[in-house]
Amino acid sequence: MSVLDVRDLTIQYLTEQGDALLAVEGVSFSLEQGRSLGLVGESGCGKTTVMLSLLRLLPEAGRITRGQILFNGQDLLQISEREMRAIRWNGISMVFQGAMNALNPVRTVESQIIEAIQHPDMKINSQQAVLRAGELLELVGIPAKRGKQYPHQFSGGMKQRAVIAMALACNPSVLIADEPTTALDVMIQAQIIELLETLQKELNLALVIVTHDLGVVAEMCDEVLVMYGGTLAEYANSDTIFNDPRHPYTQRLLRAFPDIAEPGSELASIPGSPPRLDDLPPGCRFQPRCQFGEEQPICVQQRPDSIEIAPGHRTACHLIAELER
Amino acid sequence: MSNQAILQIKTLYKHFPVAHTVKDRLARRPHQVVHAVDGVSFDVARGEILALVGESGSGKTTVGMNILGLQVPTRGQILFDGHNIADWAKGRLRPDGSPEDLGKLSRRRQIMALHRRAQMVFQDPYESLNPRQRIFDIVAEPLEIHGLVSNREEKQARVRAALEDSGLVPADHFWNRYPDELSGGQRQRVVIAGALVLEPELLIADEPVSMLDVSIRAEILTLLQNLRLAHGITILYTTHDLATAGYFTDRMAVMYLGRIVEIGPTIEVLKAPCHPYTQALVSVAPVPNPRKRRKRMILQGEVPNPIQVPPGCRFHPRCPLAEERCKQSDPPFVEVTQNHKAACLLL
Amino acid sequence: MDQFKKIWQTFISKPMAVVGALMLLVVLIMALFAPWLAPYDPQEHIDVSISDILAPPDAEHLLGRDDAGKDVLSSLIFGARVSLIVGFVSSFFSMFIGTTVGLAAGYYGGRVSNVLMRFTDFLMVIPDLPLMLVIISVWGRGLWKIILVISILYWTYTARLVRSQVLSIKERQFVLRARALGASNFRIIIRHILPQVLPLIIAQAVLDISSSIIAESTLSFLGLGDPMLVSWGMMLNFAFERAVSRMAWWFLLPPGFAIVWVSLAIILIGNALEEIVNPRLKTHHLFNPRNMVSLLMGKPPLVEPEPTPEVGT
């Protein structure tokens, strides 16, 4: 059974003027223990909103209006805030984007990890907590004795490792990492990718990587969910997405991404820019930028549903059948 | 090649002093310096696109700042079209009988003359535009600074041309807006337009796409490539991203800790890297295809502190192939093939 | 300018700010239309009888008469002119001096900053009042001399504030870009740095108005005001010397109340403006990651402002 099963998730944001903006619409995916999912999309496509909703940490203006989030079969949208608190960090944990820069500068790294360990639901005394903090640091490749240091004595890569250690403090079964490699140097990026891969195998984690970097997804994810303008564009295993993409957006995104294995190859950018939430096109959200949907009335008028075109391969495009020919 | 070179960097050094505190003085610690750029030499031919690749702290941005006279080099020469910028920046006059005799101008005029011909595009399009200026004023400002236009029509025409050359069409649609009304990609185009309006010969693009979304990156890179085609602009592209460099540059120089470790034609460097550092960088660059996953050669630790540069080959503490001799002698450049050089003792 | 429009909109949405603005408006109208509003002309020569001196309020003199038999209400209305002129003009001058010093010290740094800021500190630590008393007694009394003294003593806080803002703004990339375009230092300061600090400077200048008014009142109260003009401070001075012993409250209370009224109005406006434009006073952002982490761990969110450049104390 999947550890995480998201069905038809729809999220709205209320603006100050009282309008409801559709931030995420009809997103579904599932994830099994020990597998990794890459959630890919450009900024503003709703990927971070989806992740925050899994933890029920949406900003106040956000409302989940439809759908289910099943964690081990239990719908997280039906339980109380108290029960939810027991699942955050213990069941589902998250490495926030930029969290490495949000470590408290005046407390040692160890004490901040201990704070994460002493979750209200974890009965643990302080001696055990210190041991556990050391264990966690070693797990992410930092010598335990460096826990006594302050964040400014850590390099960027080590801070990111420390933040990952904090996320693992309560043995979660699902780990969400939001842009874990952004703003890191190439070599440090590789070290973090390697670390996440190792952790995933050793701890049998279900891993969700939220990123805009297709390369990182190709390197480490089993499944990929491509989002565009708050909707699911394409969802399949990694090999299919990268070698047999069907949705026009996925195809063009891949062509816009430089491949170091083939230097000098042509890059084709996608003209235009992603839709703004307050100005969503009435039909398919990608239609204004899509070379196929330009004059198709159905693309302009009607929103495509995501359909399963092969086992485990879903995509939302009106023209999918025609494009295949 | 060298007579067509628009830019020649000769053993450039840029050291920054580290603040010497009273505590240091009491402990009789010597004055320390950050070796940001530590003996870098390369040429850029007119119309060429050269990638300067390196991690943060490699000194690639410092090289760009020195070329534009925004920092004063510690030692070495920077020849821009034959004129030594390093001297100008120090305020030293050096007359030489070239047609446009820059040498006889005052320091301020020299720097102005340089900035008319060499411009820069910055990394962060959200930070490099004054939030209180309209797009028109941002792009027109260089023209005003250099006194290049005499009337409003001429100014409008040049701003329009620069904006439209940078892909903001129609220009009128954009120029009354403020930067925060534009997307990241559009802002970066405004920055490019602001440089283009001076019709520069050299453009230093400092990580111009690293803050942008993937689908926008290709557009900006293609735009830069087209500038070369349309206006023959020479581009020095500094980046940490080998993949984008591989897409549109002619040659590539890889920097590590203030030095160039390998330089050669881009495709050759990426396909057959010679220096172990380049090999590692190439191996860890994510490939957007799970079928092409490669063995990653991950270097342990991080780039050392540029205050205490390791002796011998500065890469040896992290080099998986390091031998005893690497700790002693500083490797010279070895020509691997024509135009492809690397600084490694093991070659 | 759009930013000022935005500030204005936020401003009028704050009730306290609107109250302050209305209060100030009353005083402004009083000062502008004093000759029409005041029932008598305080400069006019009048013949007084003993019973007119410190006569209590009646139908003809709503606030009674002062020690020279003149109408207190008229003096009060004309006194608004002096207070407002001193307040506005000297805060404008001190804003100008403070901004110039702050911009120069912040932008050029190094020795320029050291010299300017040490001088600023020097002025800051000297107690204002004794210094003002000394200067005025040397220069002599006069409206413009008072304005000048207040201006040259009250710019220090503005200078520190501007300098600290400039220190962070000059590191921003658009300033580097302007340098790369070949812009001169003067152009960078005027075009790129000043517009970013201007709203803060204006908020500070508004607050300065009230301290200037109080300073003028203090000087007049101590008998160093312009002898040719009736100001609130001077009225207080006379009232204190001659009216208190006779319990002539109608002479003592109105000028005191007027000073409090106008200072309060300006402080309400100034505080609202400062709240709008000073980044340090803004509350934290919802998406502060550290907050998110504490939420996650079932703890109350930390209420912590976003790190912002240090503002001088």
pLDDT at B71: 86
* Nearest CB neighbour to B288, from listed A43, A252, A259: A259
A42 touching B (Cβ < 8 Å): yes
Kindly state the DSSP code that residue C44 receives in the 8-state scheme.
S
Alpha-carbon torsion, ordered A102, A107, A112, A113, to 10 deg: 120
End-to-end Cα separation, chain A, in angstroms: 36
The complex scores an ipTM of 0.87
End-to-end Cα separation, chain B, in angstroms: 25
User: What residues pair up with B264 in beta bridges, in sequence order?
Assistant: B252
Chain C residue with the nearest C-alpha to that of B120: C180
**Lookup: tokens for B244:** 């984008």
pLDDT at A262: 83
pLDDT at B319: 92
Distances from the Cα of B95 to the Cα of B45, B67, B88, B319, angstroms: 24, 19, 11, 46
Please state the rounded mean pLDDT for residues A23-29. Answer: 92
A322 touching B (Cβ < 8 Å): no
Q: Is residue B346 domain-resident?
A: no
Min Cα distance A258 → chain C (Å) is: 27
Residue B98 has pLDDT above 80, yes or no: no
Domain ranges of chain A: 4-91+172-324
DSSP codes joined into one string, A46-59: SHHHHHHHHTT---
C290 touching A (Cβ < 8 Å): yes
Please state the rounded mean pLDDT for residues A21-31. Answer: 91
Chain A residues within 8 A of C292 when measuring between CB atoms: 57, 96, 99
Min Cα distance A95 → chain B (Å) is: 20
Nearest to B274 by CA among B328, B329, B339: B339
**For residue range B19-54, what is the model confidence (pLDDT) as tens digits?**
877 888 888 888 888 999 999 999 999 999 999 999
Return the H-helix or E-strand segment holding A236: strand A231-237
Chain C residue with the nearest C-alpha to that of B192: C177
Max Cα distance, chain B (Å): 68
Q: Work out the number of other CB atoms within 10 angstroms of the CB of residue B71.
A: 18
pLDDT at A245: 93
Backbone angles phi, psi at B131, to 5 degrees: -65, -15
Q: Is residue C249 domain-resident?
A: yes
Q: How many alpha carbons lie under 13 Å from residue C237 in its C-beta half-sphere?
A: 17
> Rounded to the nearest 5 degrees, what angle is found at the Cα of B107, between the Cα atoms of B104 and B110?
65
Contact criterion met (CB < 8 Å) for C174 and B128 = yes
pLDDT at A177: 94
Distance CA A231, CA A234 (A): 9
pLDDT at B105: 59
Helix, strand, coil % over all residues of chain B, rounded to 5: 40, 20, 40
Q: Is residue B64 domain-resident?
A: yes
* Position A325 confidence tier, pLDDT thresholds 50, 70, 90: low
pLDDT higher at C223 or A208: A208
pLDDT at C2: 64
Same structural domain, C240 and C95: yes
Residue A240 has pLDDT above 90, yes or no: yes
Distance CA C170, CA C102 (A): 13
- Residue C148, class by beta-carbon neighbours within 10 Å (0-12 exposed, 13-18 middle, 19+ buried)? middle
**Burial annotation B217-233 (CB, 10 A radius, 16+ → b, else e):** bbbbbbbbbebbeeeeb
Domain count, chain C: 2
Contact criterion met (CB < 8 Å) for A119 and C290 = no
pLDDT at B334: 92
Residue A48 has pLDDT above 80, yes or no: yes
Fold designation for A4-91+172-324: Rossmann fold (3.40.50)
Helix (H/G/I), strand (E/B), else coil: B41: strand
Min Cα distance B146 → chain C (Å) is: 8
Contact criterion met (CB < 8 Å) for B281 and A218 = no
* Nearest CB neighbour to A59, from listed C286, C293, C297: C286
* Chains within contact range of chain A (3+ C-beta pairs < 8 Å): B, C
Q: Are strands B202-206 and B75-80 parallel, antiparallel or unpaired?
A: unpaired
DSSP codes joined into one string, B162-185: HHHHTT--SHHHHHTS-GGGS-HH
Residue C7 C-alpha from the chain's centroid: 19
Min Cα distance B56 → chain A (Å) is: 7
- Residue A16, class by beta-carbon neighbours within 10 Å (0-12 exposed, 13-18 middle, 19+ buried)? exposed
Distance CA A118, CA C297 (A): 9
C177 touching B (Cβ < 8 Å): yes
Highest mean pLDDT among B96-100, B313-317, C268-272: B313-317
A261 touching B (Cβ < 8 Å): yes
* Position C290 confidence tier, pLDDT thresholds 50, 70, 90: very low
**For residue range C119-146, what is the model confidence (pLDDT) as tens digits?**
999 998 988 888 888 988 898 888 888 8
Chain A residue with the nearest C-alpha to that of C290: A102
Beta-carbon contacts of residue C254 (< 8 Å; ≥ 6 apart): C63, C72, C73, C76, C235
* Position C291 confidence tier, pLDDT thresholds 50, 70, 90: very low
Distances from the Cα of B179 to the Cα of B126, B205, C4, angstroms: 8, 20, 17
Chain A residues within 8 A of C297 when measuring between CB atoms: 88-89, 115-116, 119
> Of the given ranges (B259-273, B288-302, C158-172), which has the lowest mean pLDDT?
B288-302
Q: Is residue C52 domain-resident?
A: no
Same structural domain, C187 and C99: yes
Residue B103 has pLDDT above 60, yes or no: no
Residue C134 C-alpha from the chain's centroid: 22
pLDDT higher at A320 or A221: A221
Residue C57 has pLDDT above 80, yes or no: no
CATH number of the domain that residue C190 is part of: 1.10.3720.10
Mutate to test the interface with B, among C7, C171, C173 (most CBs of B within 10 A): C173
Nearest to C175 by CA among C162, C198, C193: C193
**For residue range A88-126, what is the model confidence (pLDDT) as tens digits?**
888 999 998 888 888 888 999 999 988 888 766 667 788
Residue C295 has pLDDT above 60, yes or no: no
Q: Is residue C177 domain-resident?
A: yes
* Chains within contact range of chain B (3+ C-beta pairs < 8 Å): A, C
Min Cα distance A273 → chain B (Å) is: 8
Distances from the Cα of A253 to the Cα of A127, A216, C216, angstroms: 51, 14, 69
> Rounded to the nearest 5 degrees, what angle is found at the Cα of A288, between the Cα atoms of A287 and A289?
90
CATH number of the domain that residue B124 is part of: 3.40.50.300
B178 touching C (Cβ < 8 Å): yes
pLDDT at A238: 94
Contact criterion met (CB < 8 Å) for A215 and B288 = yes
Chain C residues within 8 A of A115 when measuring between CB atoms: 297
Same structural domain, C289 and C194: no
Q: Domain range holding B254? A: 2-341
Helix (H/G/I), strand (E/B), else coil: B15: strand
Min Cα distance A81 → chain B (Å) is: 36
Min Cα distance A193 → chain B (Å) is: 10
Phi-psi group of B257: left, alpha or beta (phi > 0 → left; psi -120 to 50 → alpha; rest → beta): left
**Lookup: tokens for B64:** 């760009």
Nearest to B39 by CA among B19, B59, B17: B59
Kindly state the DSSP code that residue A88 receives in the 8-state scheme.
B
Beta-carbon contacts of residue C260 (< 8 Å; ≥ 6 apart): none
Mutate to test the interface with A, among B168, B210, B214, B250 (most CBs of A within 10 A): B214
Nearest to B237 by CA among C164, B226, A77, B225: B225
pLDDT at C313: 29
Mutate to test the interface with B, among A43, A186, A228 (most CBs of B within 10 A): A186
Single pTM value for the model: 0.83
Chain C residue with the nearest C-alpha to that of A103: C290
pLDDT at B97: 32
Distance CA B176, CA B150 (A): 21
**Lookup: tokens for A325:** 């020919």
Q: Which residues between 120 and 159 in chain B have a beta carbon less than 8 angstroms from any beta carbon of chain C?
A: 120, 122-124, 127-133, 141-142, 145-146
Distances from the Cα of A207 to the Cα of A24, A30, A86, A150, C73, angstroms: 21, 11, 19, 28, 79
Residue C312 has pLDDT above 70, yes or no: no
Chain A residue with the nearest C-alpha to that of B248: A264
Same structural domain, C274 and C293: no
A218 touching B (Cβ < 8 Å): yes
Contact criterion met (CB < 8 Å) for C293 and A60 = no
Mutate to test the interface with B, among C171, C179, C181 (most CBs of B within 10 A): C181
**Lookup: tokens for B282:** 């190439």
Beta-carbon contacts of residue B5 (< 8 Å; ≥ 6 apart): B43, B44, B45, B46, B79
Distances from the Cα of C164 to the Cα of A172, C147, C200, C282, C313, angstroms: 45, 27, 12, 17, 10
Same structural domain, C223 and C300: no
> Rounded to the nearest 5 degrees, what angle is found at the Cα of B167, between the Cα atoms of B163 and B169?
70
Chain C residues within 8 A of A89 when measuring between CB atoms: 296-298
Distance CA A71, CA A2 (A): 8
Q: Which residues between 179 and 238 in chain B have a beta carbon less than 8 angstroms from any beta carbon of chain A?
A: 183-186, 213-219, 221-222
**For residue range B116-168, what is the model confidence (pLDDT) as tens digits?**
899 999 988 888 999 888 999 999 999 999 888 888 999 999 999 999 999 89
The sign of the dihedral angle between the CA atoms of A136, A141, A143, A146 is: negative
**Number of alpha helices (DSSP H) and beta strands (DSSP E) in chain C:** 14, 0
Mutate to test the interface with A, among B207, B213, B296 (most CBs of A within 10 A): B213
Contact criterion met (CB < 8 Å) for A97 and C289 = yes
Residue C15 has pLDDT above 80, yes or no: yes
C2 touching B (Cβ < 8 Å): yes
Same structural domain, C172 and C196: yes
Contact criterion met (CB < 8 Å) for A42 and B303 = no
Q: Work out the number of other CB atoms within 10 angstroms of the CB of residue A84.
A: 18
Q: What is the mean pLDDT of chain A?
A: 89
* Nearest CB neighbour to C177, from listed B112, B122, B131: B122
Contact criterion met (CB < 8 Å) for A187 and B284 = yes
B292 touching A (Cβ < 8 Å): yes
User: Long-range contact list for B28-32, CB < 8 A, 24+ apart?
Assistant: B32/B307
Same structural domain, C156 and C259: yes
Q: Work out the number of other CB atoms within 10 angstroms of the CB of residue A73.
A: 9
Min Cα distance C132 → chain B (Å) is: 40
pLDDT at C299: 47
> Of the given ranges (A25-29, A120-124, B145-149, B325-329), which has the lowest mean pLDDT?
A120-124
Same structural domain, C216 and C300: no
End-to-end Cα separation, chain C, in angstroms: 30
Same structural domain, C127 and C211: yes
- Residue B215, class by beta-carbon neighbours within 10 Å (0-12 exposed, 13-18 middle, 19+ buried)? buried
Q: Is residue B271 domain-resident?
A: yes
Same structural domain, C289 and C313: yes
Nearest to A177 by CA among A139, A134, A136, A220: A220
Residue A210 C-alpha from the chain's centroid: 3
**For residue range B200-229, what is the model confidence (pLDDT) as tens digits?**
999 999 999 988 887 788 889 989 999 999
Q: Is residue B17 domain-resident?
A: yes
Highest mean pLDDT among A168-172, B252-256, C132-136, C289-293: B252-256
Please state the rounded mean pLDDT for residues A191-220. Answer: 93
Distance CA C141, CA A116 (A): 68
Distances from the Cα of A246 to the Cα of A258, A300, B97, angstroms: 19, 19, 63
Q: Domain range holding C83? A: 15-40+65-281
Contact criterion met (CB < 8 Å) for A252 and B217 = no
Beta-carbon contacts of residue C48 (< 8 Å; ≥ 6 apart): C68, C69
**Lookup: tokens for C184:** 């001169």
Q: Which residues of A touch C (CB under 8 A)?
A: 55, 57, 59-60, 85, 88-89, 93-94, 96-99, 101-104, 115-116, 119-121, 166
Helix (H/G/I), strand (E/B), else coil: B155: helix
**For residue range B254-267, what is the model confidence (pLDDT) as tens digits?**
999 999 999 999 99
**Lookup: tokens for B170:** 């129609």
Nearest to B264 by CA among B189, B339, B212, B336: B339
Kindly state the DSSP code that residue B308 receives in the 8-state scheme.
S
Same structural domain, C70 and C198: yes
> Of the given ranges (A271-285, B81-95, B236-250, C60-74), which has the lowest mean pLDDT?
B81-95
Please state the rounded mean pLDDT for residues C92-113. Answer: 93
Residue C22 C-alpha from the chain's centroid: 17
Please state the rounded mean pLDDT for residues B259-285. Answer: 94
